[in-house]
C-alpha cells in the first residue's frame, strides 16, 4: 500500500497544481488533496525519501 501512496504523492507534486490558485503545494495542502487517509507527515516522508519538496514541483 505504501508504494501506491508514494506513487500518488510523487505524481501530484509533478503533474498537478493546487486547486486554490496557490503557486506551490504545502505538505498539509497536498495531504488534504490526496485524501483523509494520507497525513502531511506521510507526504513529508515521501518527499524527503525522494529529495523532493512539494513547493518546488
DSSP state of 37: T
Average pLDDT, integer, range 23-40: 88
The three cell numbers of residue 22 are 496557490
Residue 25, number of CB atoms within 10 A of its CB: 23
The C-alpha atoms of residue 19 and residue 2 are separated, in whole angstroms, by 25
Q: Which residues contact 39 (CB under 8 A, 6 or more apart)?
A: 31
* Grid coordinates of 45: 516522508
pTM: 0.74
> What's the alpha-carbon Rg for the chain, to the nearest Å?
10
Q: What is the pLDDT of residue 37?
A: 80
Q: In the chain, what percentage of residues exceed pLDDT 90? A: 18
Amino acid at each position: 500500500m505504501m508504494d501506491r501512496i508514494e506513487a500518488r504523492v510523487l505524481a501530484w507534486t509533478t503533474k498537478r497544481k493546487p486547486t486554490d490558485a496557490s503557486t506551490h503545494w504545502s505538505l498539509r495542502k497536498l495531504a488534504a488533496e490526496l485524501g483523509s487517509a494520507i497525513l502531511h507527515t506521510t507526504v513529508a516522508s515521501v518527499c524527503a525519501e525522494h529529495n523532493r519538496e512539494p513547493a518546488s514541483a
